[in-house]
């Protein structure tokens, strides 16, 4: 068969369901329940459609300069992709050889990483986290690259910045710290990427979660210039279209709006965690816009189905480590009240 061996064997990544029924309370893909900045609406309304005649800026200068300004680095240290999922795919192509390169990641973590390794046709080297899902790294661990979600998903637990920094210093391969949820956390690792001593670490962010722009497709990473140049070398010429560049820039020019939404979501997160604990749930401490929580009857799959019948969608990961839990995105207060009511004993 002409289909590549590794592609034939591939199970592929399973995204969360995107139901079209607007009555569904959608708490299954960590989208932001609040709209993006009004500056995005203004930029969209004033967008001159005639500009679409021209190719977009292949090096997206304007957004890179703004990202550099926000994060205190040079624009030559910034790469931008069509969602951070594209940045991840390019990362595996730029820094991991086929077939002998090895990609490491924690178990459990974002389930795209093993799929990307299979697509790349490289080796996997997962590191099992302990039962409480806190940091654990074997003394002699080695791989070509390690992809680290911090705060982690789907657990919501943040690894301490100093522990991550010590790992990056010692690790001989390249590290990518996926900070998709860092805006919801108390701390982040961006200074590891921007430090002049750093030669092997990239920190990645996305506009999909905290900036409410999952539908736009905009993710970026920051790190040492030689690594960023490698990503530019292999990317599609025009991977960021005019809409992504224009609307992404508008969003990045209004951090206050993002921060106000994040503050609301963090407050809702703490309230719902407390209420679920009151109902007997085991709720992991979350630094993200979701909760990873075990229902009191130890019947996560049943609760998942029961919620679905009530038109509330959450996420259930049937793999052994994650099967006791449900991942519940933090929605509006009204949506979370509906969830709490749906799980309360009759
Ligand atoms: C949501 C998510 C992403 C995907 O971000 P996009 O920019 O939408 O591609 C990447 N990593 C993690 C851990 C995520 O949860």
**Ligand 1 within 6 A of 214 CB?**
yes
173 C-alpha to ligand 1 centroid (Å): 22
Question: Which residue has its alpha carbon closest to ligand 1 atom 2?
Answer: 180
Band the pLDDT of 78: cuts 50, 70, 90.
very high
pLDDT tens-place string over residues 275-311: 999 999 999 999 999 999 999 999 999 999 999 999 9
Question: Which residue has its alpha carbon closest to ligand 1 atom 5?
Answer: 84
Indicate which atom in ligand 1 lies nearest the CA of residue 87.
9
Write down the pLDDT at residue 304: 98
Sequence-distant (≥ 6) Cβ neighbours of residue 185 within 8 angstroms? 151, 158, 287, 288
Scored b (16 or more CB within 10 A) or e, 232-266 reads: eeebeeebbebbbbbbbbbbbebeebbeebbebbb
Is residue 1 predicted with pLDDT exceeding 80? no
Band the pLDDT of 20: cuts 50, 70, 90.
confident
Band the pLDDT of 13: cuts 50, 70, 90.
confident
Mean pLDDT value across residues 17-44: 94
Write down the pLDDT at residue 345: 86
Write down the pLDDT at residue 138: 96
pLDDT tens-place string over residues 187-235: 999 999 999 999 999 999 999 999 999 999 999 999 999 999 999 999 9
- CA-nearest of 113, 111, 109, 88 to 220 is 88
11 C-alpha to ligand 1 centroid (Å): 19
31 C-alpha to ligand 1 centroid (Å): 10
Is residue 346 predicted with pLDDT exceeding 80? no
Instruction: Report the C-alpha gap between 218 and 84 in whole angstroms.
Output: 7
Q: Give Dmax over CA atoms of the chain in angstroms.
A: 60
- CA-nearest of 6, 114, 240 to 231 is 240
Write down the pLDDT at residue 17: 85
Whole-structure pTM value: 0.97
Residue 314, both tokens: 């959450």
83 C-alpha to ligand 1 centroid (Å): 7
- 3-class secondary-structure state, position 252: helix
**Ligand 1 within 6 A of 219 CB?**
yes
**Ligand 1 within 6 A of 118 CB?**
no
**Ligand 1 within 6 A of 83 CB?**
yes
Query: What is the fold, at CATH topology level, of the domain defined by 5-36+256-343?
Result: 3.90.1150
Q: Is it true that 5-36+256-343 and 38-254 share their CATH fold?
A: no
pLDDT tens-place string over residues 246-279: 999 999 999 999 999 999 999 999 999 999 999 9
Mean pLDDT value across residues 56-68: 98
Instruction: Report the C-alpha gap between 317 and 298 in whole angstroms.
Output: 14
Query: What is the fold, at CATH topology level, of the domain defined by 38-254?
Result: 3.40.640
Write down the pLDDT at residue 267: 98
Write down the pLDDT at residue 18: 87
Looking at the chain, list the stretches that DSSP marks H as alpha helix, in order from N- to C-terminal side. Answer: 5-9, 38-45, 61-71, 84-95, 112-120, 161-170, 190-194, 225-234, 242-252, 255-278, 300-309, 333-343
**Ligand 1 within 6 A of 150 CB?**
no
CB 162 within 8 A of CB 191: no
Mean pLDDT value across residues 337-341: 98
155 C-alpha to ligand 1 centroid (Å): 14
Percent of the chain past pLDDT 90, that is, above it, reads 93
Work out the mean pLDDT of the chain and round it to a whole number.
96
Indicate which atom in ligand 1 lies nearest the CA of residue 214.
8
Indicate which atom in ligand 1 lies nearest the CA of residue 109.
13
**Ligand 1 within 6 A of 178 CB?**
yes
**Ligand 1 within 6 A of 153 CB?**
yes
Which of 180, 219, 289, 290 to probe ligand 1 with, by most ligand atoms within 8 A of CB? Answer: 180
107: how many CB neighbours lie within 10 A of its CB? 17
Residue 317, both tokens: 């990961």
pLDDT tens-place string over residues 89-125: 999 999 999 999 999 999 999 999 999 999 999 999 9
CB 292 within 8 A of CB 327: yes
Residue 297, both tokens: 């009857």
- CA-nearest of 114, 93, 133 to 235 is 93
Angle between helices 255-278 and 333-343 (to 10 degrees): 20
Higher pLDDT, 45 or 3: 45
- 3-class secondary-structure state, position 245: helix
Instruction: Report the C-alpha gap between 330 and 336 in whole angstroms.
Output: 7
Mean pLDDT value across residues 59-85: 98
Domain ranges of the chain: 5-36+256-343, 38-254
**Ligand 1 within 6 A of 288 CB?**
no
Residue 161, both tokens: 């910045």
**Ligand 1 within 6 A of 84 CB?**
yes
Write down the pLDDT at residue 12: 81
Is residue 168 predicted with pLDDT exceeding 80? yes
Residue 215, both tokens: 């539908």
CB 111 within 8 A of CB 155: no
**Ligand 1 within 6 A of 206 CB?**
yes
Indicate which atom in ligand 1 lies nearest the CA of residue 219.
7
Q: Report how far apart, in Å, the C-alpha atoms of 67 and of each of 19, 72, 137, 244, 248 are.
A: 33, 8, 31, 14, 10
Sequence-distant (≥ 6) Cβ neighbours of residue 30 within 8 angstroms? 153, 181, 209, 288, 289, 290, 329
Instruction: Report the C-alpha gap between 116 and 118 in whole angstroms.
Output: 5
**Ligand 1 within 6 A of 110 CB?**
yes
């Amino acid at each position: 068969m002409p289909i590549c061996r590794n592609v034939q064997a591939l199970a592929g990544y399973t995204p969360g369901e995107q139901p079209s029924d607007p009555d569904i309370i959608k708490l299954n893909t960590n989208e932001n329940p609040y709209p993006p900045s009004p500056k995005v609406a203004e930029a969209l309304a004033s967008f001159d459609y005639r500009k679409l005649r021209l190719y977009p800026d292949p090096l997206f200068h304007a957004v890179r300069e703004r990202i550099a300004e926000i994060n205190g680095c040079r624009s030559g240290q910034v790469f931008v992709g069509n969602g951070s999922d594209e940045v991840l795919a390019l990362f595996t192509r730029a820094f991991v050889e086929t077939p002998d390169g090895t990609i490491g990641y924690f178990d459990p973590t974002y389930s795209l990483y093993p799929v990307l390794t299979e697509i790349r046709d490289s080796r996997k080297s997962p590191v099992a986290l302990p039962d409480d899902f806190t940091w654990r790294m074997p003394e002699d661990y080695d791989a070509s690259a390690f992809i680290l979600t911090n705060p982690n998903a789907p657990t919501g637990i943040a690894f301490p910045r100093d522990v991550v920094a010590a790992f990056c210093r010692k690790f001989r391969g390249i590290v990518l710290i996926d900070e998709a949820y860092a805006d919801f956390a108390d701390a982040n690792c961006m200074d590891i990427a921007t430090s002049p001593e750093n030669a092997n670490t990239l920190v990645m962010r996305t506009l999909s979660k905290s900036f409410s722009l999952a539908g736009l497709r905009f993710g970026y990473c920051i790190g040492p210039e030689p690594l960023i140049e490698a990503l530019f070398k292999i990317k599609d010429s025009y991977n960021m279209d005019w809409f992504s560049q224009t609307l992404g820039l508008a969003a990045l020019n209004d951090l206050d709006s993002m921060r106000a939404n994040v503050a609301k979501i963090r407050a809702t997160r703490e309230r719902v965690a407390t209420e679920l604990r009151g109902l007997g749930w085991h709720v992991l401490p979350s630094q993200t816009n979701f909760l990873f929580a075990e229902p009191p009857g130890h019947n996560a799959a049943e609760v998942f189905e029961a919620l679905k019948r009530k038109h509330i969608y959450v996420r259930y990961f049937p793999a052994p480590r994650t099967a006791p839990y449900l991942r519940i995105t933090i929605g509006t207060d009204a949506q979370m009240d509906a969830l709490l009511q749906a799980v309360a004993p009759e």
